[in-house]
Structure 1
C-alpha cells in the first residue's frame, strides 16, 4: 500500500515525543489562553496536544497546537462540529510558557504519551467518493479503513460517517491528524474519532471536528 502523504501512526503509551500527549494538563510552549465555549460560556476540556516535528508534523511557525472541546454536562453544545464554537484548536508559538484564563471544574482526562511509528495506508482507496464508488471500490475502502492507523498524523482522514473535509477560505483545509476515542477514553460519541485540520490560505487557523462510530 502506498500513501501519497507522510504518515505516522500515533502510538498510545509509546516512546514519548516531547509535547505529544493526550489528557492531563496542557504543557504550553508559550502563552496559551484557555478557550471558552461560545455556546454556553464555560471553559472547555483539554483533549490533546501535538508539537511541530520536522518531517512528521508541520505546524510552523507554531511550536504546538492544543485541542479542546466543550463537555459541559448541563448543556447540549454542538461540539462535533467545527464552526459552532464548542471546540477549539489553539496554535501556540514559542515564548514564555503560561496558561491564562478560567479552567473547567471537571477532572482532566488520564494522561497518555504518544509515540510516532512509521505507517502505510491505501490513500487512493481511502479517498474514494462513496456516492460514486463501485462495489469493488467500496470493498477496497473497507479494507483500507481496517488496515490504516486509527490515530495518526498525515495521510488522509479516515472518516466514520462520510467525508466531512472542511472548507476554509474557499479551499479544502489541510488534514493534520486524527485521534481515536479509544483507548484514551475521549468523548467523541460512540467510540468515534476526532479530526484536526488547518486552513491552507490562513495557516494560523486550525479546526477540529469529531464523528461517532
Structure 2
C-alpha cells in the first residue's frame, strides 16, 4: 500500500517566494563569499538560491543558501561529487548584503523565479533499495518517480541512478531539496537532477552539500 507524504514542489516561473530563484546573479541576504573550485582554482558558476521559509523550508539559523559549481571547460573537475570541492553550497546568515571574491567568465544561467506549491509523493516507493527490490517494488518506484515533482523541497530524494546520499560528520546527511536540470538548462549531466543535503550536526563547518546525477 502506498504511503504518501506532503512536501512542496518548486515551481518554475512562480514568484510567491522572494529570493528563491535559478540563474542570474545571486541576491545576498548577508555577506556572501563567491567560491572557487578547490581542484582547478576557477571561480564557480552560480546555479540557484533558496531562502529560509518558515513552515516550508527550514534552513535556520541561515537566511538562505547559494549553490555553485565549477564549469571550467578546460578541466574534468568532479563537480557531481559532494566532497570534491568542485561544487559549493554557501549558507548565509542575515546581515549586511555583500558579494566578495572573483566571478567566473562568461554569461550566467538565465534567471528563473521559483515558487512553492503543495504536493505529495509515495515516500515508501521512492525509498526502496534498488539493489534488493522486487520487480513489483521497482515498478512502484518508476511510477512514484513519474508522479512526484522533479523539483521539490522535502520528502525523499528521487534518485536518477540509485541512492547516493552523502555522509558528513560520520553519518548520512538529511535531504533538503532537489532541482531538475530542465527547464533551466543546468549542467547536471544528461537532463539530471541536483540534490541538496544538510549535515545532522549543528556544529558542522560545511552544513550543506550538493550532489547530482544525470540520466
TM-score (norm 1): 0.97
1: CA distance, partners of 2:44 / 2:143? 36
Which range moved further: 47-56 or 166-175?
166-175
CA contact (8 A) 1:62 1:92 kept: yes
Structure 2 residue 116 is the aligned partner of structure 1 residue 116 = yes
Structure 2 residue 149 is the aligned partner of structure 1 residue 157 = no
| Deviation, structure 1 residue 170 | 1.5
1: CA distance, partners of 2:135 / 2:73? 42
Secondary structure in 1 matching 2:120: coil
Instruction: Give the count of matched residue pairs.
Output: 212
Matched residue, 2:59: 59
Matched residue, 2:175: 175
Runs of 4+ more than 2 Å apart: 1-4
| Deviation, structure 1 residue 2 | 4.2
Structure 2 residue 75 is the aligned partner of structure 1 residue 41 = no
TM-score (norm 2): 0.96
Structure 2 residue 184 is the aligned partner of structure 1 residue 184 = yes
CA contact (8 A) 1:188 1:211 kept: yes
Secondary structure in 2 matching 1:143: helix
CA contact (8 A) 1:2 1:120 kept: no
1: CA distance, partners of 2:3 / 2:12? 24
Matched residue, 1:210: 212
Query: Per-residue CA shift, 1:156-201, capped at 9, x if unaligned?
Result: 0000011001111121101000000000010111000000000001
2: CA distance, partners of 1:184 / 1:16? 18
Which range moved further: 115-124 or 202-211?
202-211
Q: CA RMSD in A?
A: 1.1
Matched residue, 1:28: 28
Secondary structure in 2 matching 1:84: coil
| Deviation, structure 1 residue 16 | 3.5
1: CA distance, partners of 2:38 / 2:13? 33
Secondary structure in 2 matching 1:179: strand
The answer for unaligned runs of 5 or more in structure 2 is none
Matched residue, 1:95: 95
2: CA distance, partners of 1:57 / 1:199? 15
1: CA distance, partners of 2:175 / 2:4? 14
